[in-house]
């Protein structure tokens, strides 16, 4: 019989799916704006800008909530990879994704109350949440209020570096999003990890 | 034959005939040659013009108004007839003596009573341009709604204006041109001077509420870049000013790599386009980062390549997992059998 364990508390689940919805919305509208072309109609430009601005501001709100809630509940500790052997465990995880998973080998890490994430997850999630998100939110905020951008830079409009940083961090986040969704299917069954993020229960 | 040739072969007469035929053409080109860039007037000419200006600015400038050189001037009238010498000194007409346009009756003071009526009009010099502009202007919202009250100088103050093609900074072109529109459309007082009675000035921010970052647009692009219909590539921007109805509302018209701004605001600057550092429309980028228009094409290709590689990689990984799992299921739940060296049969045959 499968043993069940309640791992993911409601605020994390609500935040996770709100965050997901906002990031997907921002990704789609962001692509519509960046690749705007009369021959390639994604979302109408003016509408895309409005949705993108609104969703961006909401994401700042959810991000602040995430940071504060993490501090208050102590959940931030989950994002810190714990020694000893962090690198070895990361390598082990990468090897499992590239070889072990095809051989039907068991997961090298079993989520528990003390350690939700494997070492690779902890490092990646930490980088996305505490490095990429602040960069994209801050550059987005300057984009929203361009008067805070430098006037000019090397003969170009000063908004250019802000726009480039915003774009490249968006690319990194969306590439992460693709792999994150896919790796979500590598539980014991394809749906196991998605189910856990909805119900909060992990089936061992 | 020889005699005939001697009689007709008179090169100086031929040259004279050709010269006479070309004379009207040469004369018509003369002003263009004089004012063409590079054909700088001599220092004597400049000094002569400066003196001519100084004579008029003695009264018709803020300084002249403060300390009139003559007693008994009608200062109330003079107050409305002042020009700033330094602003005029930057304008396209700066090398013309005031009396080029304010001609008959302005040589002496007091000026002739009908002197104003004899002031030259724009079309006296700019007749060729006027032929293109007039039919466009006739269709404009100003000519349609305010027939008779609008002339060239209502918008184009000849003491201030500089042609876009003589400016190297798009933001200056925008500032100059938008000041003209906003002068009336952002001022109740001036709007009321022209508008039909009871017509209230629509608040600009309200009617442009659909346009994201409205004020930022007004600093980066001219009102006429949206409020005029398309013209053929290389043509001067149309003088058919359209109201909200006919104006450009398709953001992508500007916000795309094929941006119409290249044939509008940046028409003269775009000649310098060199795709600096690989950015599309980098000439626009000097003035404003315009999402959609100023993309880095190589970077975008790399990014799309990264997404394609990621997707293909994930799909391949997924297919690999599916196939290996099916194979394991087919092989049954037998514990993995260690193959011995030399055993060339695979597990499937055993299963």
Q: Is the predicted pLDDT of residue B302 greater than 90, yes or no?
A: yes
Contacts of A142 (CB under 8 A, 6+ apart): A148, A149, A159, A162
Q: Residues 33..72 of B with a Cβ closer than 8 Å to A: which?
A: none
B314 near A182, Cβ under 8 Å? yes
**Using 50, 70 and 90 to split pLDDT, how confident is the model at A184?**
very high
Which residues of chain B lie closer than 8 angstroms to A164, CB-CB? 296
Residue B181 covered by a domain: yes
| Facing A179 at nearest CB: one of B286, B287, B314 | B314
**Using 50, 70 and 90 to split pLDDT, how confident is the model at B277?**
confident
Q: Residues 227..256 of B with a Cβ closer than 8 Å to A: which?
A: 250-253, 255-256
Total domains in the fold of chain B: 3
Residue B265 covered by a domain: yes
Assess whether B93 and B69 both reside in one domain. yes
Going by the DSSP 8-state scheme, the letter that residue A131 receives in this structure is I
B78 near B60, Cβ under 8 Å? yes
| Facing B324 at nearest CB: one of A97, A102, A162 | A102
Total domains in the fold of chain A: 1
What pLDDT does residue B108 have?
Answer: 81
Q: Is A33 near chain B, with CB under 8 Å?
A: yes
Average pLDDT, chain B: 82
Going by the DSSP 8-state scheme, the letter that residue B279 receives in this structure is B
Q: Is the predicted pLDDT of residue B134 greater than 80, yes or no?
A: yes
- Terminal Cα-to-Cα distance of chain B (whole angstroms): 115
Domain that holds residue A21: 4-203
Domain that holds residue B278: 128-295
- Are residues A156 and B216, on separate chains, in Cβ contact within 8 Å? no
| Facing B288 at nearest CB: one of A46, A157, A171 | A157
What pLDDT does residue B285 have?
Answer: 83
Assess whether B137 and B237 both reside in one domain. yes
Q: Give B248 or B17, the one with higher predicted confidence.
A: B248
Closest-CA residue in chain B for A175? B307
A46 near B211, Cβ under 8 Å? yes
* Spatial CA neighbour of A101 closest among B2, B14, B215, B323: B323
Which residue has 């003491």 as its token pair?
Answer: B159
**CATH number of the domain to which A95 belongs:** 1.20.950.20
- Are residues A104 and B291, on separate chains, in Cβ contact within 8 Å? no
Q: Is B289 near chain A, with CB under 8 Å?
A: yes
Assess whether B209 and B149 both reside in one domain. yes
| Facing A160 at nearest CB: one of B251, B285, B306 | B285
Which residues of chain A lie closer than 8 angstroms to B320, CB-CB? 102
Euclidean distance between CA atoms A65 and B188, whole angstroms: 46
Assess whether B54 and B64 both reside in one domain. yes
Residue B26 covered by a domain: no
Assess whether B104 and B244 both reside in one domain. no
Domain end residue (candidates: B75, B90, B120)? B120
Q: Is B288 near chain A, with CB under 8 Å?
A: yes
What pLDDT does residue B337 have?
Answer: 47
Residue B216 covered by a domain: yes
Instruction: Mutation target for A interface from B168, B209, B220, B252: give the one with most A CBs within 10 A.
Output: B252
Assess whether B281 and B321 both reside in one domain. no
Query: Cα–Cα distances in Å, from B21 out to A6, B14, B17, B30, B166?
Result: 101, 11, 6, 16, 33
Assess whether B224 and B301 both reside in one domain. no
pLDDT in tens, B309-331: 999 999 999 999 999 999 988 88
Assess whether B256 and B283 both reside in one domain. yes
Q: What is the ipTM of this complex?
A: 0.91
Instruction: Mutation target for B interface from A36, A40, A48, A165: give the one with most B CBs within 10 A.
Output: A36
Going by the DSSP 8-state scheme, the letter that residue A43 receives in this structure is S
Assess whether B91 and B210 both reside in one domain. no
Percent of chain B's residues with pLDDT above 70: 83
Residue B199 covered by a domain: yes
Assess whether B275 and B191 both reside in one domain. yes
3-state secondary structure B83-142: CCHHHHCCCCCCCCCHHHCCCCCCCCCCCCCCHHHHCCCHHHHCHHHHHHHHHHHHCCHH
> How many angstroms away from the CA of A171 is the closest CA of chain B?
7
Q: Is A141 near chain B, with CB under 8 Å?
A: no
B103 near B119, Cβ under 8 Å? yes
What pLDDT does residue B69 have?
Answer: 86
pTM of the model: 0.79
Assess whether B133 and B97 both reside in one domain. no
What pLDDT does residue A160 have?
Answer: 92
Residue B177 covered by a domain: yes
Residue B66 covered by a domain: yes
Side-chain-side CA neighbours of B59 within 13 Å: the count stands at 20
Longest dimension (CA), chain A: 68
Residue B221 covered by a domain: yes
């Amino acid at each position: 019989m499968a043993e069940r364990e309640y791992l993911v508390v409601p605020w994390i689940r609500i935040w996770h799916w709100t965050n997901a919805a906002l990031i997907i919305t921002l990704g789609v509208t962001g692509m519509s704006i960046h690749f705007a072309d009369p021959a390639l109609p994604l979302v109408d430009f003016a509408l895309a800008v409005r949705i993108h601005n609104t969703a961006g501001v909401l994401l700042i709100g959810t991000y602040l909530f995430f940071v504060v809630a993490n501090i208050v509940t102590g959940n931030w500790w989950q994002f810190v990879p714990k020694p000893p052997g962090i690198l070895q465990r990361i390598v082990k995880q990468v090897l499992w994704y590239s070889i072990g998973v095809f051989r039907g080998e068991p997961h090298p890490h079993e989520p528990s109350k003390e350690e939700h994430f494997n070492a690779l997850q902890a490092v990646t999630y930490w980088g996305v949440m505490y490095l990429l998100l602040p960069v994209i939110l801050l550059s987005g905020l300057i984009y929203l209020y361009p008067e805070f951008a430098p006037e000019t830079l090397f003969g170009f409009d000063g908004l250019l570096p802000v726009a480039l940083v915003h774009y490249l961090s968006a690319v990194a986040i969306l590439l992460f999003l693709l792999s994150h969704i896919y790796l979500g299917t590598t539980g014991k069954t394809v749906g196991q990890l998605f189910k856990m993020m909805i119900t909060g229960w992990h089936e061992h | 034959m020889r005699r005939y040739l001697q009689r007709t072969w008179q090169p100086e007469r031929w040259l004279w005939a050709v010269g006479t035929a070309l004379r009207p053409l040469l004369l018509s080109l003369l002003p263009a040659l004089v004012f063409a860039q590079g054909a700088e007037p001599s220092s004597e000419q400049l000094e002569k013009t400066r003196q001519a200006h100084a004579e008029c600015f003695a009264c018709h400038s803020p300084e002249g108004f403060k300390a009139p050189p003559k007693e008994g001037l009608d200062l109330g009238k003079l107050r409305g007839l002042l020009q700033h010498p330094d602003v005029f000194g930057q304008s396209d007409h700066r090398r013309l003596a005031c009396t080029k346009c304010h001609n008959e009756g302005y040589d002496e003071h007091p000026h002739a009573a009908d002197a104003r009526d004899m002031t030259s009009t724009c079309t006296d010099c700019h007749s060729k341009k006027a032929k293109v502009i007039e039919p466009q202007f006739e269709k404009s919202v100003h000519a349609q709604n305010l027939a008779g009250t609008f002339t060239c100088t209502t918008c184009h103050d000849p003491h201030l204006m500089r042609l876009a093609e003589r400016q190297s900074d798009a933001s200056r072109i925008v500032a100059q041109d938008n000041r003209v529109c906003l002068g009336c459309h952002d001022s109740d007082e001036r709007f009321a001077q022209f508008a039909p009675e009871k017509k209230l000035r629509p608040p600009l921010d309200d009617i442009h509420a659909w346009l994201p970052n409205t004020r930022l647009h007004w600093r980066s692009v001219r009102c006429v870049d949206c409020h005029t219909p398309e013209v053929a590539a290389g043509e001067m921007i149309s003088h058919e000013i359209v109201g909200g109805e006919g104006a450009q509302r398709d953001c992508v018209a500007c916000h795309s790599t094929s941006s119409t701004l290249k044939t509008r605001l940046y028409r003269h600057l775009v000649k310098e386009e060199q795709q600096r550092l690989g950015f599309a429309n980098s000439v626009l980028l000097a003035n404003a980062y315009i999402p959609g228009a100023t993309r880095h094409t190589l970077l975008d290709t790399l990014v799309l390549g990264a997404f394609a590689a990621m997707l293909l990689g994930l799909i391949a990984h997924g297919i690999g997992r599916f196939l290996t799992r099916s194979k394991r299921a087919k092989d049954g739940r037998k514990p993995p059998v260690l193959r011995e060296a030399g055993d060339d049969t695979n597990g499937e045959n055993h299963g």
